[in-house]
Amino acid sequence: MKLTFATRPSKLARWQTTHVMRALEIVHPDLTCIEEVFVTKGDKVLDKPLPMIGGKGLFTEELEAALLDGRVDAAVHSLKDLPTENPAGLTLGAIPLRADVRDALVSSEAYTLESLPKNARVGTSSPRRAAQLLAQRPDLQIADIRGNVDTRLRKLLEGQYDAVVFAAAGLIRLSLDAELGNRMQILSFDEMLPAPGQGAMAVQCRADANVTLGLLTAIEHLLTRNAVTAERAFLNGLGGGCAVPVAACGDFRPETSDLRLTGLVSSPDGKKEVRVSGEGKDAIELGKRLAEEALAQGAARILNG
């Protein structure tokens, strides 16, 4: 039996797709997985901030179209790149075990967030990261940066930026953490709460593809799914997206088996923020409840400018 996977061309996207394909082939010895590369609009347009050219769907539309017309069977995404609602006819067939959810500050001079020079130029295209950086260091000069991991690292080393913020999971998956050494600072949750779904991969497929769905159950990680479901429910409850500084992180309390969620809504300049947290057993209910709490505490005014 054969499954065809759609993937974007970057090293990280290819790594993630290969990781999922190999994992499936190990548990299903009669299965052969192949990949087909698609260049998305988000990969082509690199000179404009994401919110200006359409947001999260820029990295997924071409892959989703290929799924819907039957050219491919599945697509592996970084979950934080996916809109909170699946297109009609598609579903998340598996969410494997999550990697490190945190953000990482990378600099050429081994700076930390605290030791960055005054008015340092920090590269990020994420409003969430920019807001949390400015909340702690309002002197920083936030500069947009686009491109894959290698491209952003090259721009840093060329001196275009004093530091750049990455998802730690991507650096670790590409084995760059050892190479970067003390030039990479993992940021704590107090310093930077991650994006909903950060560090998790999602395998998208057609909702009626029962055979594919059955095969994908072997790599499903229920605790990860529940955590990211709560995070995305929080984001969805706020009506937020890529242009809005929203962060969320869920994990489990082993002693109670409850899901714990922390959410953050911030103004773009980092001067105003609402942080909420809570626990519960139902991921969607917890995310929605905390979104309502955040809105009641002033997040609506922040989101509406």
Report helix, strand or coil for 300: helix
pTM for this model (two decimals):
0.91
Q: What local confidence, expressed as pLDDT, does residue 241 receive?
A: 55
The predicted-structure confidence for 183-223, as pLDDT tens digits, reads as follows 999 999 999 999 999 999 999 999 999 999 999 999 999 99
List, in order of start, the domains of the chain with CATH numbers. Answer: 2-96+201-220 (3.40.190.10), 103-186 (3.40.190.10), 228-303 (3.30.160.40)
Name the nearest CA neighbour of 57 among 37, 41, 33, 36.
Answer: 41
**Identity at 284, one-letter amino acid code:** I
Residues acting as catalytic residues: 81
Q: What local confidence, expressed as pLDDT, does residue 304 receive?
A: 81
How far apart CA 266 and CA 226 sit, in angstroms, is 24
How far apart CA 57 and CA 41 sit, in angstroms, is 9
Please, are residues 195 and 80 in contact by the beta-carbon 8 Å criterion?
yes
How far apart CA 279 and CA 290 sit, in angstroms, is 9
The predicted-structure confidence for 115-142, as pLDDT tens digits, reads as follows 999 999 999 999 999 999 999 999 999 9
What one-character-per-residue DSSP string does 66-113 give? HHHTTS-SEEEEEGGGS-SSPPTTEEEEE--------EEEEETT---T
